[in-house]
């Protein structure tokens, strides 16, 4: 019988045996999988696990600092790297979604490779790969796929030549969450909605600028905080806010405004392959819309996305 406790016990013993006194480097994303993989490895090898958490400037409002704090609180040996400007520079002028994804993947590899080089004599690369990633390894999406698509460009980055350790590669998502719980990881991390690797860059249609990111972060945090306070966050599989490159006329006091619109997206799903839009209560949508329009400078219109997947996708890019 599979139980999370026995999985933790046997996996920690196996990892100790396999890795011995070697050093492991692992990239944390803030998501469930990399967090659980890190804590599991930490139990096995302690300070020989070197975690790297890159601030790409494309995370939700305040999320980088909150997640970094909670990693440190869990005792992980984690290094946070502020690489915001490198990502913004690489994104400047790009409007095509795949070009944006490629630029983000390329900069991530450069930043991670530099940080991994600073760990003397590192032998292993730890990864939070889970079983569905293994079966879908040909998928075009996901951070590991981003790395794969760069294999043939100028040879492998050095960290890709390390031996790979993937302690979760036999588990499904719900099992990963149970293992995380058994390891005492905070529910705030375990219950988090999926979030795409390229982050807010693919939720800003067209060119990404720091100004648009700041506006989107404010609107998105109002949306997410309202889902939490209304008690519906855990019933929604994924939610996010999309910055639309559309300006429309509004009124504010006696003034005519001409500002951008955001779309709210909330879906129910099992695995992200198909999804239905969530029938959120009108009162909740009204509250969110008012709060965004009254508080976020630059937004004067909010729309709700009522498309299901297929034929629409969850993200807009
Ligand atoms: P779509 O938009 O294809 O999204 O319906 C399905 C799921 O995949 C996530 N997604 C991504 N995740 N890199 C990622 O790591 C990406 O480039 C990417 N694009 C979409 C999306 O958030 C949803 O959970």
Residue 73 falls inside a structural domain:
yes
* pLDDT 10s digits, 43-81: 999 999 999 999 999 999 999 999 999 999 999 999 999
CATH of the domain at 245: 3.30.300.10
Mean pLDDT over each residue of the chain, to the nearest integer: 94
173 in the same domain as 42: yes
Instruction: Specify the number of domains making up the chain.
Output: 2
Same domain for 80 and 225, yes or no, is no
User: Are the CB atoms for 299 and 259 separated by under 8 Å?
Assistant: yes
- Regarding predicted confidence, which is higher, 47 or 150? 47
Domain-located, residue 57 = yes
User: Do 62 and 92 have their domain in common?
Assistant: yes
What integer is the mean pLDDT of 120-124? Answer: 97
Is the domain of 14 the same as that of 118?
yes
Q: Are 58 and 200 in contact (CB under 8 A)?
A: yes
Measured from CB, residues less than 6 Å from any atom of ligand 1 are 101, 141-143, 194, 196-198, 238, 272, 309, 313-315
Q: Provide the 10 A C-beta neighbour count for residue 107.
A: 19
Same structural domain for residues 164 and 261? no
The pTM (predicted TM-score) of the whole model is: 0.92
Query: Is residue 90 scored above 70 in pLDDT?
Result: yes
Choice among 102-116, 149-163, 186-200, 295-309 with the minimum mean pLDDT: 149-163
- Say how far apart CA 117 and CA 113 lie, in whole Å: 6
The predicted pLDDT at position 156 comes to 81
State whether residue 93 is helix, strand or coil.
Answer: coil
User: What interface predicted TM-score (ipTM) does this complex get?
Assistant: 0.99
Residue nearest to atom 22 of ligand 1 (CA): 196
Determine whether the annotation assigns residue 35 to a binding site.
Answer: yes
Considering the domain architecture, whether residues 131 and 11 belong to the same structural domain is answered as yes
Residue with the larger pLDDT of the pair 150 and 223: 223
What confidence score (pLDDT) does residue 138 get? 55
Residue 316 lies in a domain: no
Beta strands in the chain (DSSP E): 23-28, 49-55, 78-82, 122-126, 163-165, 238-252, 255-268, 276-277, 299-304
Residue 277: inside a domain, yes or no?
Answer: yes
Q: Are residues 262 and 181 in the same domain?
A: no
**Claim to verify: residue 176 and residue 251 sit in the same structural domain:** no
What is the DSSP-derived secondary structure letter of residue 159? G
* Whole-Å CA distances, 177 to 72, 118, 171, 246, 269: 20, 31, 10, 39, 17
Q: What percent of the chain has pLDDT above 90?
A: 89
180-227 residue pLDDT tens:
999 999 998 999 999 999 999 999 999 999 999 999 999 999 999 999
Is the pLDDT at 148 greater than 50? The verdict is no
* Residue 65 lies in domain: 4-190
Residue 197 lies in a domain: no
Residue that terminates a domain, selected from 155, 190, 225: 190
Find the range with the poorest average confidence among 43-47, 102-106, 269-273. 269-273
Do residue 79 and residue 185 come from a single domain? yes
CA 254 / ligand 1 centre spacing (Å): 42
DSSP 8-state class, residue 149: T
Say yes or no: 34 and 174 in one domain: yes
248 and 182 within one domain:
no
Mean pLDDT of 254-280: 96
- The number of residues making up the chain comes to 317
So what's the pLDDT on residue 297?
97
Same domain (yes/no): 181, 225? no
In a domain, 310, yes or no: no
Mean pLDDT value of segment 101-123: 97
Q: Which residue's alpha carbon is at the smallest distance from atom 17 of ligand 1?
A: 141
6 marked as binding residue: no
CATH of the domain at 149: 3.40.50.620
Is 29 known to sit in a ligand binding site? Answer: yes
- Residue 136 pLDDT: 77
Atom of ligand 1 nearest to the CA of 269: 24
């Amino acid at each position: 019988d599979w139980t999370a406790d026995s999985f933790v016990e046997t996996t920690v013993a196996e990892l100790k045996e396999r890795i011995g006194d070697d050093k492991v480097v692992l990239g944390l994303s803030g998501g469930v999988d990399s967090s659980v993989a890190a804590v599991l490895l930490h139990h096995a090898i302690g300070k020989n696990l070197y975690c790297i958490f890159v601030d790409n400037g494309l995370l939700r409002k305040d999320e980088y600092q909150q997640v970094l704090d909670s990693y440190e609180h869990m005792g992980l040996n984690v290094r946070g790297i502020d690489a915001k400007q490198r990502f913004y520079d690489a994104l400047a002028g790009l409007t095509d979604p795949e070009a944006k994804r490629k630029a983000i993947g390329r900069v991530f590899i450069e930043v991670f490779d530099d940080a991994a080089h600073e760990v003397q004599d590192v032998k292993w690369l730890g990864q939070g790969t889970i079983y569905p990633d293994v079966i879908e390894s040909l998928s075009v999406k996901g951070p590991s796929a981003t790395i794969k698509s760069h294999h043939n460009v100028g040879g492998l980055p050095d960290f890709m030549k390390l031996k790979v350790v993937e302690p979760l590669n036999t588990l499904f998502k719900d099992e990963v969450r149970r293992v995380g719980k058994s390891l005492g990881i905070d529910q705030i991390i375990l219950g988090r909605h999926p979030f795409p690797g390229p982050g807010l860059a693919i939720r800003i249609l067209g060119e990404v600028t720091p100004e648009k990111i700041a506006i989107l972060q404010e609107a998105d945090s109002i949306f997410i905080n309202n889902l939490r306070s209304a008690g519906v966050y855990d019933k929604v599989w994924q939610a996010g806010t999309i910055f639309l490159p559309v300006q429309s006329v509004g009124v504010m006091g006696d003034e005519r405004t001409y500002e951008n619109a955001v779309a709210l997206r909330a879906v129910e799903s099992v695995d992200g392959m198909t999804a239905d839009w969530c029938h959120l209560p009108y009162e909740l949508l009204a509250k969110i819309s008012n709060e965004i329009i009254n508080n976020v400078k630059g937004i004067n219109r909010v729309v709700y996305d009522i498309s299901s997947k297929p034929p629409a996708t969850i993200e807009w890019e």
